[in-house]
Amino acid sequence: EICACLVGSEMCIRDRRRSAEVRAERDELLLVTDRYMLADFPVAEDERELYRQYRQYLRDIPETPGFPDTEIMDFAAWREQS
């Protein structure tokens, strides 16, 4: 795939598109896990803490090496790996 770079240090169009796609996927996973952060949501505190850590993993994705060519793990896969 050809990456049409605009100017030396700027992200190329392909990277910007991929970055937007990864961020959208990440944002969707954050939205799905919002409820676990609510104080009155019925979940054990140790489970809530795992979701808090998972959400931090999601927020850190744009800073990971290789971004935007990064695979995002869902909670089950992340928990298994952690």
Strand segments, DSSP code E, in 4-81 are none
Q: Note the pLDDT tens digit of each residue in 34-44.
A: 999 999 999 99
* Interatomic CA distance for residues 61 and 27, integer angstroms: 11
Q: Note the pLDDT tens digit of each residue in 2-11.
A: 455 555 556 6
